[in-house]
Amino acid sequence: MNPQHSTTAGTIPAAYRRGEDEPGDGLDGGTGGGKSRGSVDGNGQRRVLDYAPAPQPLEHPVIDNHTHLDFRDGGVEVSVSQAMDAAEAVGVAGAVQVGCDLESSRFTVQALETEPRLLGAVAIHPNEAPLMARDGTLEAALAEIEQFAAHPRVRCIGETGLDYFRTADDGIERQQYSFRRHIDMAKRLGLALQIHDRDAHDDVVRILREEGAPQRVVFHCFSGDAALARICNEQGWYVSFAGTVTFKNAANLREALAVTDPERMMVETDAPFLTPHPYRGRPNASYMVPYTVQAMARELQVDAGELASRLTANTEEVYGPWTQV
pLDDT at 115: 97
Taking the C-alpha atoms of residue 63 and residue 322, their distance in angstroms, rounded to an integer, is 10
Instruction: Report yes or no: 112 and 81 within 8 Å, Cβ to Cβ.
Output: no
CA–CA–CA angle 199, 204, 207 (5° rounding): 150
- DSSP state letter for 186: H
Position 25 scores a pLDDT of 33
Within a domain: 34: no
pLDDT in tens, the chain (325 residues): 443 345 677 899 999 998 754 443 332 333 234 677 777 777 777 888 999 999 999 999 999 999 999 999 988 999 999 999 999 999 999 999 999 999 999 999 999 999 999 999 999 999 999 999 999 999 999 999 999 999 999 999 999 999 999 888 889 999 999 999 999 999 999 999 999 999 999 999 999 999 999 999 999 999 999 999 999 999 999 999 999 999 999 999 999 999 999 999 999 999 999 999 999 999 999 999 999 999 999 999 999 999 999 999 999 999 999 986 6
Separation of first and last alpha carbons in the chain: 21
Report yes or no on 176 lying in a domain: yes
- Pairwise CA distance, residues 173 & 47, whole Å: 35
Give the distance, in angstroms, between the CA of residue 61 and the centroid of all CA atoms in the same chain.
17
Which alpha helices (H) appear in 97-237, and where do they start and end? 102-114, 129-135, 138-148, 169-189, 201-211, 226-235
pLDDT at 323: 84
* Domain assignment of residue 138, yes or no: yes
Contact at 8 Å (CB) between 235 and 164?
no
Q: Assess contact for 249 and 15: CB atoms under 8 A.
A: no
Asked whether residue 39 is domain-assigned, the answer is no
DSSP state of 151: S
CATH code, 87: 3.20.20.140
Answer yes or no: is 19 within a domain. Answer: no
Give the Cα separation of 307 and 260 in Å (integer).
13
Instruction: Report the candidate in 293, 312, 313 with the shortest Cα–Cα distance to residue 303.
Output: 293
Residue 169: per-residue pLDDT? 83
In this prediction, residue 6 carries a pLDDT of 55
State the pLDDT at residue 7.
65
Length of the chain: 325
How many other C-beta atoms can be found within 10 angstroms of the C-beta atom of residue 150?
A: 10
User: Rounded distance, CA 218 to CA 202, Å?
Assistant: 16
- 3 state DSSP class of 118: strand
- Tell me how far apart the alpha carbons of residues 39 and 75 are, in angstroms, rounded to a whole number: 9
Q: What is the pLDDT of residue 35?
A: 77
Domain of 273 in residue numbering reads as 67-319
**Residue 45 maps to a domain:** no
Q: Report the pLDDT value the prediction gives residue 250, as an integer from 0 to 100.
A: 97
Q: Which residues pair with 40 in a beta bridge?
A: 46
164 domain-assigned: yes
Q: 116 lies in a domain?
A: yes
Instruction: Give the whole-angstrom CA distance, residue 38 versus residue 184.
Output: 35
Number of domains in the chain: 1
